[in-house]
Amino acid sequence: MITTLSIKNYALIEKLAIDFSQGFSIITGETGAGKSIILGALGLVLGKRADLTSLKNKEEKCVIEAHFDISKYHLKPFFETNDLDYEDDTIIRREILPSGKSRAFINDSPVNLQELQELSLYLIDIHSQQQTQELSDEKVQFQIIDAIATNAEILERYQNLLKDYKSDKSKLNSLIKKQAESYKEQEYNQFLLNELLEAKLKAGEQEGLESDFEKLNNVEIIKEALDKSLAIANAETIGVLSNLNEMKSALQKIASFSPEYQTLQERVVSVLIEMDDISNELNDCTENLFSDPAQLELINQKLQLIYNLQKKHQVSTVEELLEIQNQLDATVLEIGTIGEAIEKLTITVQEKATELDVLAATIAKNRQKAIPVLSEKLISILATLGMPNVRFDIQVTPTATYFENGKDELQFLFSANKGTDFGLLKKVASGGEMSRIMLAVKAILAQYSKLPTLIFDEIDTGVSGEIAIRMGEIMKEMSQKMQIFAITHLPQIAAKGNAHFKVFKSTVGEVTQSELILLNEEERVVEIAQMLSGTVVSDSALNHAKALLN
């Protein structure tokens, strides 16, 4: 429950601090007095977004702080999960700086708005006219039925499994799409791969083939050059080897006379040895050189094949062609791998679908059991609210679709009077009827919900007299299990509260501001009398107010 609310520099409120008690509290005030400002401040505490328009004085920061007694609501796991200090008296503070930036704190620990919003779900439910209209929404109707059916735990399991199922289904669809695209390209990829495999390429072979081709293609030129070189080297009288031998003999005679001559002689010997080796290799080359047109043609064909493949794949080396061959091989093999993955994932998806079906069936079964209970309770409460002939026909229909809350579709049909056909709630219920139905729903949910605080914001729209009295009694009954606030214009409801707060405007100098005060017994009598008769309070209005309070 909320125990204290303090507001500083927010909208028309300069400074306000108020204590609340458990039970049933009433908030009244003229239209425009500032009731919506109080709710707006609470909204900020609960994690709603803020802007600079919230500041009364644009030069100072706005601070809104609320104390909550959460000792009975088993929220320690939430605090542990979010690494927050737990306190039975938990303090939530929201600050809006003149710069427009906003800060939020739980027990003085800074938090983000998401954490604040998650905690607020356990603290306060502000029921407004907009929420009354939401009663027509199928999602809200399901939430009501599921609360009575105690489906919360199984719904959580279903939703977690559904998330995994959708993720796996998405992966499966992607694989199937990829497989279809791969099949389209498979024939061409296989052709390219076969073409490379048939070429029997080897790393480094291109250079060898090109060298062999040049030799075989120029045999005659090479033979002529080799023969000429051999003749120059080995001619008997003028050959290089013969001349070098003569030089060696001449220098050998004078080598002992000087180191210089010795060195020259050694160098000539070295050249002679090298030249002799060259002569031998020239001879070998000549002997091994032969014309082979058939081999030349084979080498030429292999080179042309390599050149064509390089041009097709836009590369310049055999090594790059081999890399492409490996990639194509992997791509072709991947199709088989995709098929295996699809098969495994299909089984997983089917298993999860089966499990989802079981959970959805249990959810639906629980709903079917809860619907008569909900209808009976609604009819019973609404009979006391001036709707004695109300009837509900709540139909839950199974489907093949996996929704976020099961596999059911829902029709919430309603008839307010005898002899009238059932119709969809949102189409046939009036505003006053919707208000009463929503109050009945909240009264029923109070028996199943662990929500500590419920605020009714003018839920009495469209009702008066005895109906208003009964609405006040229902809220008072609810307050025995939870903290209830009612913002109301009806004296019949205002008189049922345990505590009565009044919102009003006051003028200080040239500044208008909103204030909230707790009324004492005498002030409360006057406030209810004014609600009955207007600003000028008559004796009969005062007596009527006292009668209502008693």
Secondary structure, 3-state, 48-107: CCCCHHHECCCCCCEEEEEEEECCCCCCHHHHHHCCCCCCCEEEEEEEECCCCCEEEEEC
The whole-angstrom separation of Cα 489 and Cα 28 is 6
The whole-angstrom separation of Cα 183 and Cα 398 is 39
Of the chain, the percentage scoring pLDDT greater than 70 comes to 96
pLDDT of 393 reads: 92
pLDDT of 185 reads: 67
pLDDT of 419 reads: 81
What is the helix (H) or strand (E) element at residue 422, kind and residue range?
Answer: none
pLDDT of 184 reads: 65
Euclidean distance between the first and final Cα of the chain, in Å? 27
Q: Does residue 24 sit in helix, strand or coil?
A: strand
DSSP 424-477: EHHHH--HHHHHHHHHHHHHHHTTT---SEEEEESTTTT--HHHHHHHHHHHHH
Q: Tokens 């900020």 map to which residue? A: 44
The domain segmentation of the chain, as residue ranges, is 1-123+452-519, 178-336
What does each of the 550 residues of the chain score in pLDDT, given as a tens digit? 899 999 998 888 888 899 998 899 999 988 877 888 888 889 899 888 877 777 888 888 999 999 999 988 888 999 999 999 999 999 999 998 888 888 999 999 999 999 999 998 889 888 876 667 778 888 889 989 999 999 989 999 999 999 999 999 999 999 888 777 776 666 677 777 778 888 888 888 888 787 777 777 777 787 778 778 888 877 777 788 888 887 888 888 888 888 988 998 899 889 989 988 988 888 888 777 766 778 778 877 888 888 888 888 888 888 888 888 888 777 665 566 777 888 899 999 999 999 999 999 999 999 999 999 999 999 999 998 888 999 999 999 999 999 999 999 998 899 988 888 898 887 888 877 888 888 899 888 888 877 678 998 888 777 778 888 898 999 999 998 889 999 998 999 999 999 999 999 888 777 888 889 999 999 999 999 999 888 788 889 999 999 988 8
pTM given for the model: 0.65
The whole-angstrom separation of Cα 229 and Cα 430 is 118
pLDDT of 3 reads: 93
pLDDT of 528 reads: 93
Q: Tokens 């559904």 map to which residue? A: 162
Written as six digits, the tokens of 39 are 């709710």
Query: Do residues 41 and 92 lie in contact, with contact meaning Cβ atoms separated by under 8 Å?
Result: no
The whole-angstrom separation of Cα 93 and Cα 198 is 76
Q: How far is CA 211 from the centre of its chain?
A: 63
The CATH homologous superfamily for domain 1-123+452-519 is: P-loop containing nucleotide triphosphate hydrolases (3.40.50.300)
pLDDT of 183 reads: 67
The whole-angstrom separation of Cα 550 and Cα 219 is 129
C-alpha angle 167-173-176 in degrees, rounded to nearest 5? 145
